Structure 1
Amino acid sequence: MTHSQNIFPTKEAAIDTTALRVAIADVEAAAMRLAGVANQTPVLTSRTVNQRTNSQVFFKCENFQRTGSFKFRGAYNALAQVSKEQRQRGILTFSSGNHSQAIALSGKLNGIHTTIVMPDDAPAVKQEATRSYGAEVILYNRLETTREAMAQSLVIERQMTLIPPFDHPHVVAGQGTAAKELIEEVGSLDLLLVPCGGGGLLSGSAIAARSLSPKCRVIGVEPERAMDATCSFHTKTLHTVHNPDTIADGARTPNLGNITFPLVLHYVDDMVAVSETAILNAMFFLWERLKIVVEPTGALAAAALLENVVTAPNARIGVIISGGNVDLQKFRQLFS
C-alpha cells in the first residue's frame, strides 16, 4: 500500500476555485504593518549548493523569524486588523505548533488576550512556550474530539474571534511578505520553491512572486506521506489526507483551505512531493553546510532541490526555509 492511498477527494460542498480573496495589494499592506515588528530574515547562499545544482540558490531563512517560523508574519498581520470589539473579547486559534506561538506573541504585542486550543499530547516545550507569551492554553483529547469542534464551541461560548492557522486572507497576506522580502533583496527569480502544509505560505508567496518577478515559476513542496495538496493541484479537486505519518509535522494538515485552494490553483505553477529520507538529508545538509537548525517542514523546499526532485540548471532559485522549531532531543533522535 502506498501512502497516497490514504488520500481521498474531500466530501464537502464544492469550492469556488475562482474566488481569489488575496491580492498583491494585501501583501504590500501586510509588509507595512510588519515593518519594524517582524524580523527581515537573512538570505543565505552556498557555493556547494550552487555547484551541486548548477544554479544560483538563495535561501530565505524564516527559522530566524520571531517565534522561529514564518507564522509570525500572518498571525501579526491578522491580529493587527481586528476590531476594538474583537480585541475586547479576545482571539482564539487551534494549533499544536508554530501558529500557536505566533498568535500568542502577536496577541501580547497588540494587547489582546489569546486562547490556544492544543492537543494534550502536544510537546510540553511548545505548550510552555505558548503560555510564556501570555496565552491561555486549553488542551483536548484527540481521541474524543477534534480541534475544530473544540474551537467552535469556545467561539460560541466566549464570543471570541477565530484566526485559523492558514485559511484566512490576512494570514495569507502576511505570509506572502517573506517572498516579497526575498525578491526585493536578491532581484528577480526564475524559480521559487516553497513548503506547503495548508497552503498559506505557498499561496502568499506565489502572489508576491507573480507581481514582483512575473517570469518566476512557483512550486510547492510537501511530504510524499501527506501529498493531499499535490493531488488537489493536479486533479483540480480538493483532496484530504487522514492522519499522515510524516516527520514534517507542519504539513500534517488534512487539506488545503477554502481560501488557499483557489489561490494555489491560480498562482502556483506546480506541486511536488519528497520522501522522508529526502527531508532528513536536507535537514542534515543545512545544519552541516549552512550551520542552521531547520525543522522537517522547514526543509521541504530545500529537499526538493537537493534531491533533484526539481531541477533548473543555470537558474536563479529562491528556497524558503519556513522554520526552525525542532526540539533538540528530537533532532538528535532523527540523526541517531
Structure 2
Amino acid sequence: MSLDLNKVKKAQENIKGVARRTPLFYSSTFSKQSGYEIYLKCENKQKTGAFKIRGAYNKIANLTQEEKERGVIASSAGNHAQGVAYAATAFGIKSTIVMPATAPMSKVNATKGYGAEVVQFGEVYDECYTKAVEIQKETGATFVHPFNDEDVMAGQGTIALEILEDIPDMDAILVPIGGGGLIAGIAVAAKSINPNIKVIGVQAEIIASTKASLKAGKVVTVDGVKSLADGISVKTPGDISFKYIQQYVDEVVTVSEDEISYAEFKLMETSKLIAEGAGATPLAAVLADKIKVDGKKVAVLISGGNIDIAMVSKIINRELIMQKRRIGFNVELQDKVGELGKLITKISVLGANIVKVRQEQNWDEKGLEFANVNFEIESQSKEHSREIIKTLKESGYSIEGIKLF
C-alpha cells in the first residue's frame, strides 16, 4: 500500500492542463431539504463527461515507453472507457476497450469517437473484465484497470485536493462506489489533509459489493442485477482499493433504485444538471436521509453525466408519475366554437402543462351538441394536481375519469 498524498499531488501535476478543474457550488435547494450545507462537485462537467479521465491519464502518463508501444486495453461500463480512449489518443497510442453489451450507446459511441476500438461483451463490468483479460493475453497490451490500480486511484484522488482547496473546512465528502478506486483515492487524499473529515461511500443496494465485503471483513462477490447506476454495478470490489477503503472510509450506505431515479430527476429540475445513475447516488443518500454528519458542510460528488437521452426521458416521465404530477381526466363540453379554447386557457393559467388533449363527439342521449375532451396534464406537485381539479369543478366543469398516473 504505497498510495499517499504525495502520489496524489504528483497526479495533479500530470493531469494539469488535461483534466478540467470542475466547479464546486453551493445548492440552497438541497441544503434546505437536508439541513446540511450541500456543495455539488460537478465531475459531470469533466472532459469525457466523468471523473475517469483523471485516473486513466495519470496511469498512462506513468507507463514506460515500451508499455505505451504495446498499446493499452481496458474494461469499462463506459466512463473509464472514454477516459482511457481520450488519454491513449492524447499520447498517440492504440487503445482497445471491452464494454458490456448493455452499455448505453452514448458511452459506446463516445468511446469510439475518442479513438478506441470497442469490443462489447457481457452485461456487467465483471463479465467484460474477464473478456478484456483474454484479449490482453493475446495482444500483450498494457491493462489499464478502472479501479484496482494505485496510479488510477491517485488520479481520482485529485478531486479531493480540489474540494479542499476550494473549501478547506469541508466536513464530509460523499462518493459513489463501484470497484472502489474513486473513493480510495479521495479518502487517502482527504484524510491525509484533514484526518477529521468524514468520507462516506454510496452504493446501489441491489449490488452493494463493497458494503458486503466490509461486513465480511474481506473482498466478497455478490449476486446482483444491473442497477440504474450502471457505472457502479460491480459484483466484486478491487482487492487493492478495498484495503484503502477499510483504512480510510468512515461508512458505506446504500440507496434504492427509486432513490437514485429521484435524485437524477431533482438534479435536472432544480440544479439543471444531468447526472447518470452512479453520479446521482451521493445526492440520493442525502435526499433519503441516509447520512449523519456532525458538521454542516458536505461535498456531494456528481461523478458523471453520461446517460442516454432516452433514459433521461424515461426518468422524467417516471418521476412525474411517481410524484402524482401527471394526471388525466375527461371533461364534457358543449361542442361549439371557443369552449375548448377557454378550458385550455384556464388550465394554463392554473400553472399546468398540457401534454395531450383529444376531443371526441358524444353519441348518447345528449345528442351532438356535446363532446368529451380527454386531457393529460403535468403539474408542479401532487397537491397542485388536486388543486387544479378542484378549481375546474368549482368553475362548473364536469370532470370524470380522473387518473393520478
TM-score, normalised to structure 1's length? Answer: 0.90
Q: 2:217 aligns with which of 225, 236, 247?
A: 236
- The secondary structure found in structure 2 opposite 1:76 is helix
How far apart are the structure 1 equivalents of 2:73 and 2:181? 18
How far apart are the structure 1 equivalents of 2:203 and 2:233? 10
Aligned residue in 1 for 2:67:
86
1:141 positional shift: 5.3
* Larger CA Rg, structure 1 vs 2: 2
Aligned residue in 2 for 1:294:
275
How far apart are the structure 2 equivalents of 1:81 and 1:245? 33
Aligned residue in 2 for 1:322:
303
How far apart are the structure 2 equivalents of 1:296 and 1:149? 24
How far apart are the structure 2 equivalents of 1:141 and 1:197? 17
Q: 1:224 aligns with which of 193, 202, 205?
A: 205
Q: 1:105 aligns with which of 60, 82, 86?
A: 86
- The secondary structure found in structure 1 opposite 2:196 is coil
Aligned residue in 1 for 2:14:
33
Q: 1:256 aligns with which of 215, 237, 241?
A: 237
8 A contact 1:193–1:320 mirrored in 2: yes
How far apart are the structure 2 equivalents of 1:87 and 1:204? 24
Structure 2 counterpart of 1:137, which letter?
A: V
Change in Cα spacing, 1:335 to 1:150, as seen in structure 2 (3 Å) is same
- The secondary structure found in structure 1 opposite 2:146 is coil
Change in Cα spacing, 1:264 to 1:127, as seen in structure 2 (3 Å) is same
CA deviations 1:77-109 (Å, max 9, x no partner) are: 101111111111100111231111110001111
1:142 positional shift: 5.6
Aligned residue in 2 for 1:23:
4
- The secondary structure found in structure 2 opposite 1:284 is helix
Task: After TM superposition, list the pairs within 5 Å mapping 1:190-201 onto structure 2.
Answer: 190-201=171-182
8 A contact 2:120–2:128 mirrored in 1: no
Superposition RMSD in Å:
1.7
How far apart are the structure 2 equivalents of 1:189 and 1:56? 10
Change in Cα spacing, 1:142 to 1:69, as seen in structure 2 (3 Å) is closer
8 A contact 2:98–2:121 mirrored in 1: yes
CA deviations 1:234-268 (Å, max 9, x no partner) are: 33122212342421101111121111010000000
Report sequence identity in percent.
38
Q: Which moved more, 1:237-246 or 1:30-39?
A: 237-246
How far apart are the structure 1 equivalents of 2:249 and 2:295? 21
Change in Cα spacing, 1:127 to 1:260, as seen in structure 2 (3 Å) is same
Gaps of 5+ in 2: 318-405
Q: Which moved more, 1:295-304 or 1:134-143?
A: 134-143
8 A contact 1:188–1:212 mirrored in 2: no
How far apart are the structure 2 equivalents of 1:199 and 1:187? 24
- The secondary structure found in structure 2 opposite 1:318 is strand
Task: After TM superposition, list the pairs within 5 Å mapping 1:1-336 onto structure 2.
Answer: 20-140=1-121, 146-312=127-293, 315-336=296-317
8 A contact 1:119–1:139 mirrored in 2: yes
1:314 positional shift: 5.1
